[in-house]
Amino acid sequence: MKYIIGNWKSNKNQNEVSSWFDQFNNLYSQNKNIDLNNLEIVLLAPFIYLPQVKSLVSQYNLPLKIGAQNLSPFQMGAYTGEVNSFQLADFCDYVLIGHSERRKYFHEDNDILMKKVIEAEKAHLKTIYCVGDAKTNIPDTISIVAYEPVWAIGTGTAETPDKAQEVARIIKEKQSVKTVIYGGSVSPSNIALYLGQEDIDGVLPGGASLDPSIFWQLVTNVHS
């Protein structure tokens, strides 16, 4: 199984979400011959669009899973402005934890990330835990580790597939993690190079997930 996990970050409005799905559905329905069997395609949408995304995925019967980009470190209760794991579980299968933008702009440290991991597990969400190197501590129960070197995110300069492979190998060896994906300037022209590496089980594209035709190209270029 290979993962393509699109991270929309804080992008799109309601109309743009609808039009992304209209276009993605057109591409998908015109290319039903493409074998998606060994792919898990996930979209990480802003909280507020998760209900809309869920209903569009089911309306069009698309082979897409849904995830959130963050979650509350607390349970249900008096935590103004937070969205907790049980609320997310109504809409999502996955949740992203510890993205470098959360660590940088929202000062999320290992303690808070651990609380988020525990909350995600209580609601049976699959966790995608981001690290910027092979040294960062990874909680034991993570489903997927995303290796994302900070300098490669949103810059158009990706880590070389060889180096990404080496970091993925070390993460698997040292932290007994089964699934490692790579993120940082993944595009239709480099996706196959990452997925061809022995220890890289998927990719986490940000910018390349925003346009449905580019996202579709990621899917079709998996083996190219």
Q: Catalogue the active-site residues.
A: 99, 148
Q: How far is the CB of 62 from ligand PGA (least distance, A)?
A: 21
**Choice from 206, 215, 218, 219 touching ligand PGA (CB under 6 A):** 206
The answer to whether 5 and 44 are in contact (CB under 8 A) is yes
Among residues 23, 58, 62, 18, the alpha carbon closest in space to that of 39 is found at: 62
The answer to whether 145 and 167 are in contact (CB under 8 A) is no
Q: How far is the CB of 80 from ligand PGA (least distance, A)?
A: 27
Q: How far apart are CA 141 and CA 7, in angstroms?
A: 22
Q: Which two tokens stand for residue 210?
A: 């925003």
Residue 183 or 212: which CB sits closer to ligand PGA? 183
How are the residues of the chain apportioned to helix, strand and coil, as percentages rounded to the nearest 5?
40, 15, 45
**Choice from 70, 207, 215, 216 touching ligand PGA (CB under 6 A):** 207
Signed CA dihedral, 36, 69, 126, 111: sign only: positive
The answer to whether 199 and 180 are in contact (CB under 8 A) is yes
Q: How far is the CB of 186 from ligand PGA (least distance, A)?
A: 5
Judged by CB under 6 A, does residue 204 bind ligand PGA?
yes
Q: How far is the CB of 154 from ligand PGA (least distance, A)?
A: 4
Q: In the complex, which residue's CB is closest to ligand PGA? A: 206
The answer to whether 46 and 20 are in contact (CB under 8 A) is no
Quote the Cα angle for 2-48-83, to 5°: 85
Contacts of ligand PGA in 140-199 (CB under 6 A)? 148, 153-154, 183-186
Judged by CB under 6 A, does residue 128 bind ligand PGA?
no
Residue 72 or 185: which CB sits closer to ligand PGA? 185
**Choice from 4, 7, 128, 164 touching ligand PGA (CB under 6 A):** 7
- How many residues form the binding site for ligand PGA (CB under 6 A)? 13
Which stretches of the chain bind ligand PGA, using CB under 6 A? Answer: 7, 148, 153-154, 183-186, 204-208
